[in-house]
C-alpha cells in the first residue's frame, strides 16, 4: 500500500507539472502570436541594438528557440542580412525616422555576422547618413566587428570604463594528431594541392609552411578591408590605424578619444541627454523611439503586389557545410538543394535566380550535384551568385556555372583543392584488446574498412581518384570562368584568397554584395519594374515549430559548445559524409574576431 501511494503521488505530480508547463507555454504562445502591429511616430529615432545575429538566410527557429521566446527567456534575436539592409534603407527614406542610435554587441552564431555581411550593413548605414540623418553610436567595450560598424557614426561615444579593441586578426587552429595517436586512432590522407591543408588538424601537430603562408596573406588582406572603412568613418588613414594597432591592441576611453577612434567618452545618461537635445526635447523619455526589430517586422507586413507570369525573383541561400543527402541545421544538403533548384527551374513564374553562398565547402559529390542543377537552371533563366563571408572549395565549386559572380573585398574564397581522410582504429583495437578477422572475395573488398591501415597500393588507388576529382574541379573553373587551364592550376592548389584577390585572378566578376546581385539578376531576367522576391529555404512558421514540440528537446550544453574551436573541428570531421570519401572543403575553420 505504501509503494502504491508513493507511485500514485509521483504520477500525480508529474501530470501536474506537465499540464502546468503546457499552460504557461500556451500563455507564452498567445503573447508571441498576439503582438500588436508597430507604427512609427513622427520624428522617431531608430534604435539599432546590435545584440543580434545577422544570418544570410532568413532565420528558421528551432523548437527550443521558440520555447525560450514564449517563456520570456530572452533568446538571441536573429535577422537576415537582406531584411536588415532593407530596413536601414527604408528608414533613410522614411520621413518619420530622423536619426539612428547604434549600441550593443553582436552575438555571432554559426556562419552569421561575418565581415562580408557587416560590410553590406555598413554601406546601408552610410546611405542613411547621406540622406542627411545623423547616426549616433554608444559603445561600452566594442570588439572589432562591433567597432567596424559603429565607426560609421557621425558621433561615437565610448563608456568611460570601456575599451576599444583594435588588435588585428588572428586565426588559431587546433591540431589533434598527437591526441589521436594517444587514443590509438590512425589517420591516412590523400589530397590534391600543396595548400589544401584541411587535413592538417588530424595529421600534424603544427602548421605547415604553406598553410602559414596563405593564412598570413589572407589575414593581411582581410585586415586591410576592415581598416579602410574604419578609416573612412573616422577620417583617418588605414596606415595610421595600423600603427595604432601595432602599438597597442586596445584603447581606454580617454586614449581612444585622443587617438581619434572615438569622439568623446560619456556615460549612458550623458548620451541620453545628447539624444534628447538632438530631438529638441529636454527628457530622453520624450524622444519617440522605433525599435529596429519592430520596424523591420512592420516592413515585412506590407501586402504583396500582384505580378505577371515570369515576374518572380528567387533568392536561394547556401549557408553552412555542404553534405550528401538532406543535411541538418547548419548544413547544406546536396539532395535538398537540388530538389529546390529543380522546382524553381520548372516554375515559369520565376524569371531569375540569385544564389547566395556562405560555405567553406564539404562533400565533393554534393557540390557537383548542386553545380549541375545550377547549370541546368542557367539554360532556362539567369543565375547570379553572391559570395558571402566565406565561399571556399566546394562553396566556390557550386559558383562556377553562373552568369555573374559577386564577392565582397573581404570574402574568403578559392581553396580550389580536394582531399580524403582515411581513419583507422587498428591500434586502438589492440590497446583495448579487440581483434578483427576478415574474410573477403577480393583484395580490395575491405578497402574502406576503418579497422586497418591502408597499404601503399591502396593509397595510390585512392590518390588517383582524388587527382581525378581535382582535375574535374579545375576544368569546371576553366570552362565556367573562361580561364586557361594553366592559369587555373597556378591559382588553385587549395590556396585561399580574399575577394579582392579573387577579382584580380578572374575567379569573380565584380565586387559587391547581395544588394547588387538582386537588381542585376532582375535586369538579366528582364523582369521589369514590377516583380516579387521569394527566398528559399523559407523561414518556418509558428505552426511548424509547434509541431515539433514532442520530438525536439532544448540543446542545453551543446548550444554553448558550438561556439568553441574544438567543437567546430570535430563537427567538420563529422560532416565529411561524401559517399566516395572525397571532399572539397576550406583548409581550416577561421575563427576571426
Contacts 24+ apart (CB under 8 A), 473-478: 473/364, 473/397, 473/416, 473/417, 473/418, 473/584, 474/416, 476/371, 476/397, 476/400, 476/401, 477/400, 477/416, 477/507
Q: Is the N-terminal amide bond of 537 cis, ω within 30° of 0? A: yes
Residue whose cell numbers read 600543396: 194
Distances (CA, A) of 144 to 38, 303, 438, 568: 33, 39, 56, 22
Per-residue burial over 280-317, b if 16 or more Cβ lie within 10 Å, else e, is: eeeebeebebbebbbbbbbeeeeeeeeeeebbbbbbbb
Q: Are 68 and 103 in contact (CB under 8 A)?
A: no
* DSSP per residue, 177-188: HHHHHHHT-EEE
**Helix (H), strand (E), coil (C) string for 388-424:** EEEEECHHHHCCCCCCEEEECCCCEEECCCEEEEEEE
User: Taking Cα atoms as reference points, which of 324, 346, 354 lies closest to residue 337?
Assistant: 324
Q: Is 427 a catalytic residue?
A: no
543 near 325, Cβ under 8 Å?
no
Q: What torsion do the CA atoms of 397, 400, 401, 403 make, to the nearest 10 degrees?
A: 140
- Of the candidates 55, 393, 515, 575, the residue annotated as catalytic is 393
What are the distances in angstroms from CA 473 to CA 278, 404, 501, 509? 57, 19, 20, 19
Active site residue 386: no
Which of these is catalytic: 78, 196, 381, 498?
196
Active site amino acids: 196, 393
Amino acid at each position: 500500500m505504501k509503494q502504491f501511494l508513493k507511485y500514485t503521488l509521483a504520477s500525480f505530480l508529474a501530470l501536474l507539472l506537465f499540464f502546468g508547463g503546457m499552460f504557461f507555454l500556451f500563455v507564452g504562445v498567445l503573447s508571441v502570436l498576439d503582438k500588436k502591429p508597430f507604427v512609427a511616430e513622427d520624428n522617431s529615432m531608430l534604435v539599432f541594438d546590435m545584440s543580434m545575429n545577422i544570418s544570410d538566410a532568413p532565420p528558421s527557429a528551432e523548437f527550443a528557440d521558440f520555447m525560450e521566446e514564449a517563456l520570456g527567456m530572452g533568446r538571441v534575436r536573429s535577422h537576415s542580412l537582406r531584411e536588415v539592409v532593407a530596413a536601414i534603407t527604408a528608414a533613410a527614406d522614411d520621413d518619420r525616422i530622423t536619426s539612428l542610435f547604434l549600441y550593443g554587441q553582436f552575438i555571432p552564431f554559426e556562419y552569421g555576422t561575418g565581415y562580408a555581411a557587416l560590410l553590406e550593413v555598413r554601406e546601408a548605414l552610410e546611405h542613411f547618413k547621406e540622406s542627411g540623418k545623423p547616426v549616433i553610436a554608444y559603445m561600452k567595450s566594442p570588439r572589432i566587428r562591433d567597432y567596424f560598424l559603429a565607426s560609421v557614426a557621425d558621433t561615437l561615444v565610448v563608456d568611460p570604463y570601456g575599451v576599444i579593441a583594435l588588435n588585428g586578426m588572428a586565426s588559431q587552429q587546433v591540431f589533434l594528431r598527437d591526441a589521436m595517436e594517444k587514443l590509438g586512432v590512425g589517420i591516412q590522407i590523400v589530397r590534391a594541392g600543396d595548400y589544401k591543408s584541411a587535413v592538417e588538424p588530424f595529421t600534424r601537430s603544427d602548421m605547415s609552411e604553406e598553410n602559414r603562408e596563405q593564412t598570413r596573406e589572407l589575414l593581411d588582406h582581410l585586415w586591410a578591408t576592415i581598416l579602410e572603412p574604419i578609416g573612412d568613418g573616422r577620417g583617418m588613414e588605414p596606415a595610421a590605424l595600423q600603427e595604432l594597432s601595432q602599438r597597442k591592441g586596445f584603447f581606454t576611453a580617454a586614449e581612444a578619444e585622443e587617438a581619434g577612434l572615438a569622439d568623446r567618452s560619456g556615460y549612458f545618461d550623458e548620451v541620453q541627454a545628447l539624444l534628447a537635445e538632438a530631438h529638441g526635447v529636454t527628457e530622453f523619455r520624450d524622444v519617440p523611439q522605433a525599435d529596429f526589430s519592430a520596424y523591420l517586422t512592420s516592413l515585412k507586413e506590407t501586402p504583396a503586389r500582384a505580378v505577371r507570369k515570369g515576374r518572380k525573383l528567387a533568392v536561394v541561400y547556401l549557408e553552412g557545410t555542404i553534405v550528401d543527402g538532406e543535411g541538418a541545421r547548419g548544413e547544406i544538403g546536396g539532395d535538398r538543394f537540388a530538389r529546390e533548384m529543380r522546382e524553381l527551374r520548372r516554375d515559369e513564374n520565376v524569371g531569375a535566380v540569385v544564389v547566395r553562398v556562405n560555405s567553406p565547402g564539404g562533400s565533393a559529390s554534393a557540390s557537383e550535384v548542386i553545380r549541375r542543377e545550377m547549370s541546368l537552371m542557367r539554360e532556362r533563366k539567369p543565375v547570379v551568385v553572391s559570395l558571402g563571408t566565406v565561399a571556399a572549395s566546394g562553396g566556390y565549386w557550386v559558383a562556377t556555372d553562373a552568369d555573374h559572380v559577386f564577392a565582397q573585398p573581404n570574402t574568403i574564397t578559392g581553396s580550389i583543392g580536394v582531399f580524403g581522410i582515411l581513419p583507422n582504429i587498428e591500434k586502438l583495437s589492440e590497446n583495448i584488446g579487440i581483434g578483427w578477422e576478415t574474410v573477403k572475395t577480393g583484395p580490395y573488398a575491405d578497402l574502406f574498412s576503418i579497422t586497418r591501415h591502408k597499404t601503399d597500393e591502396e593509397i595510390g588507388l585512392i590518390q588517383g581518384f582524388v587527382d581525378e576529382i581535382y582535375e574535374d574541379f579545375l576544368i569546371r573553373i576553366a570552362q565556367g570562368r573562361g580561364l586557361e587551364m594553366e592559369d587555373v592550376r597556378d591559382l588553385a592548389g587549395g590556396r585561399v584568397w580574399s575577394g579582392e584577390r579573387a577579382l584580380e585572378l578572374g575567379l569573380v566578376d565584380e565586387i559587391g554584395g547581395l544588394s547588387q546581385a538582386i537588381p542585376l539578376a532582375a535586369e538579366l531576367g528582364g523582369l521589369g519594374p514590377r516583380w516579387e522576391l521569394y527566398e528559399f529555404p523559407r523561414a518556418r512558421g509558428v505552426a511548424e515549430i509547434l509541431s515539433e514540440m514532442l520530438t525536439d528537446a532544448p540543446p542545453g550544453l551543446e548550444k554553448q559548445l558550438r561556439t568553441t574551436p574544438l567543437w567546430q573541428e570535430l563537427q567538420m570531421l563529422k560532416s565529411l559524409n561524401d559517399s566516395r570519401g572525397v571532399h572539397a572543403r576550406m583548409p581550416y575553420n577561421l575563427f576571426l574576431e
